[in-house]
Amino acid sequence: MKGTPFEKKALENINLEIDNGEFVALIGHTGSGKSTLVQHLNGLLKIEEGEISVAGMQTKGKDLKELRKKVGIVFQYPEHQLFEETVYKDIEFGLLKQGLEESERHRKICETAAILELDNALLEKSPYELSGGQKRRAAIAGILVLEPDILVLDEPAAGLDPAGTRELFDIVTALYKEKNITVILVSHSMELVADYASRIIVMNKGRIHSDGKPSEIFMQGRELEKIGLGVPEITELMSLLKKYRPDIRQDIFSVDQALQEILKQLGVKQ
Amino acid sequence: MIRNITLGQYLPGKSIIHRADPRTKIIVTMLFMIVLFIIDSIWALLGALIFVATAYWISKISIKFAIKGIKPILFIILFTVVINMFMTEGNTIVNLGFAQITDQGLLRAAIVSLRVFMLITSASVMTYTTTPIMLTDGLEKLLKPLKKLKVPVHEMAMMMTIALRFIPTLIDETDKIMKAQAARGADIGTGNLLERAKSFIPILIPLFVSSFRKADDLAIAMEARCYRGSKGRTSMRVLKYGKIDVAILLSFCIICSGILLIHYLI
């Protein structure tokens, strides 16, 4: 929309380096530019200034196919992209585009389906007959089957119930550990980010607000609230408990850690 | 990926034309179109052109947008120009052997192309300065008398409002689905005709499915708010005729009679 009253700069002054094998979370308020940022990673959006290099390739280049093989993006509500007659065929779509052999395709699909716990009966169903959580997993399978080195997940848990969310994240973490891929997670849920990511990048109004380990990020609680984010509920609880126990640890982001700390404070031995 | 749809696009602004009642703008545009078809002298058409240019100037819409709206029908204009240039009898100016361009032909070509150009640009002023919702509101009010003849005016306006309301949503949706499929390695719109047509299937099917789902959701949401058609329904924005509208209508009448006068006198 260049040159119209609707023109808006979505991203500005982004200097970012993500190493191989990192589990990075991008967090930010709605409209902070996090989805825009990740769409640049495989050339779906083209930059107007600056440069991006992913896996040694420039995203400005002409040959985006190779780049898109390396970077798999799972969009928000990925189930909206399902279109084939059966789940199997839908997962196969990307592989067909890569021109792989039948046997090779079959092997990869079975492997991916096993990771995402999609059984054979399910693979033969129409994607529109599945439940919400199943649809989500089927759609993610369509990306994972391409075996990307860099997996980008844009709000993968939106609209899933807590159990479904856990399930999905356990799968992603297992995959991350097993295949040593890079995972970039876009989210605004602090709890999820705290539990899984090893590095957090906070976005605000198209700029990087802060970048660091979860402990570093969540220590600036007030700062985060100012830009419409918060700290995980459990961290909030710990800061409230500080009133009564001044020496209670503040760098706590999961319920387990909190439990240990409170037990310690109470002098209970396990 | 697909953001260059300009026809029927609203450009926010605060000019007099932006603030005028949609009914005024609809009436003025309609009347102007009729006038355009009545007049066929080049001087009257040039007068009308000044009127259109003034409208663009007052509404502070850049000429770029006027030209953008012309693009889709540029071919039609060129076609009529060529046909008229060669097919009208008169004094020959250029002789190509098999055909000749005449002075009368050039004049006709200019008249016809000016007329088509102004038909589009004048309608564009209306759509650029009025939100689609306001337009349908105005149309509904204007067509109200037809209700006596059992024409479902309100329902038609509602359908139009909903259709217009969902254009941006569907564009967004298409954009998203295109990106999602491109991320899976789909290449859209490449290869031969058959391949190209096939490449749209992964986009169209999800789009249809989501449209049906959206329609269903909307129907339920409307019923949940007790929507039952036009009976006893009031409007949030009550259209009011103000001084601006009277002024616009009056000056339009004067300009029109001026243009018609030129047409009849010359």
pLDDT digits (tens, 9 = 90+) for A9-36: 778 778 888 888 889 999 888 878 888 8
CB contact under 8 A, A80 and B210: yes
Q: How confident is the model at residue A1 (pLDDT cuts 50, 70, 90)?
A: very low
A252 Cβ neighbours under 8 A, 6+ residues apart: A234, A235, A238, A258, A261
Residue B184 binned pLDDT confidence (cut-offs 50, 70, 90): confident
What digits encode the pLDDT tens for the residues A80-132? 888 888 999 999 998 888 888 889 999 999 999 988 888 888 899 998 888 88
At B28, the pLDDT band (50, 70, 90 cuts) reads very high
Say whether A83 and B206 touch across the interface (CB within 8 A).
Answer: yes
User: Is the Cβ–Cβ distance between B129 and B58 less than 8 Å?
Assistant: no
Residues B201-219: tens digit of each pLDDT: 889 999 998 999 999 999 9
The pLDDT, as a whole number, for residue A2 is: 52
Interface of B with A in 204-223 (CB under 8 A): 205-206, 209-210
Residue pair A181/A151 in contact by the 8 Å Cβ criterion: yes
Cβ distance of A146 and B184 shorter than 8 Å:
yes
Bridge-based pairing of strands A207-212 and A53-54 is unpaired
User: Minimal Cα distance from B3: which residue of A?
Assistant: A1
Task: Tell me the chain B residues in contact with residue A145 when contact means C-beta distances shorter than 8 Å.
Answer: none
Closest Cα partner for A147 from B57, B85, B185?
B185
Q: Residue B61: name the closest of B118, B136, B134, B124 by CA.
A: B124
Mean pLDDT, range A194-208, rounded to an integer: 86
Angle between helices A102-115 and A87-98 (to 10 degrees): 130
B145 contact A CB<8A = no
pLDDT at B33: 94
In total, chain B counts a number of residues equal to 266
Annotate A137-149 with DSSP letters as a single string. HHHHHHHHTT--S
Is A142 in Cβ contact with B184 (below 8 Å)?
yes
Model ipTM value = 0.79
The mean-pLDDT minimum among A208-222, B128-142, B149-163 falls in A208-222
pLDDT tier at B6, thresholds 50, 70, 90: very low
Average pLDDT over residues B75-98: 83
For an interface test with A, the pick among B3, B171, B184 (most A C-beta atoms closer than 10 Å) comes out as B184
Find the mean pLDDT for residues B43-57.
Answer: 91
Instruction: State the pLDDT at residue A270.
Output: 55
> Residue A214 and residue A198: Cα distance in Å, rounded?
7
Indicate whether B7 pLDDT > 50: no
User: In this prediction, what percent of chain B has a pLDDT beyond 70?
Assistant: 97
d(CA B136, CA B155): 11
Least confident segment among A85-94, A154-163, A167-176, B188-197: B188-197
| A80 contacts chain B (CB < 8 A) | yes
Q: Does B185 touch chain A (CB under 8 A)?
A: yes
Is residue B224 over pLDDT 90?
yes
| A42, A44, A80 member nearest B177 (Cβ) | A80
**A45 alpha carbon, distance to own chain's centre:** 18
Give the mean model confidence (pLDDT) for residues B177-187.
Answer: 85
Domains of chain A: 23-43+64-231 (3.40.50.300)
What percentage of chain A carries pLDDT values higher than 70? 96
Interface of A with B in 6-45 (CB under 8 A): 39, 42, 44
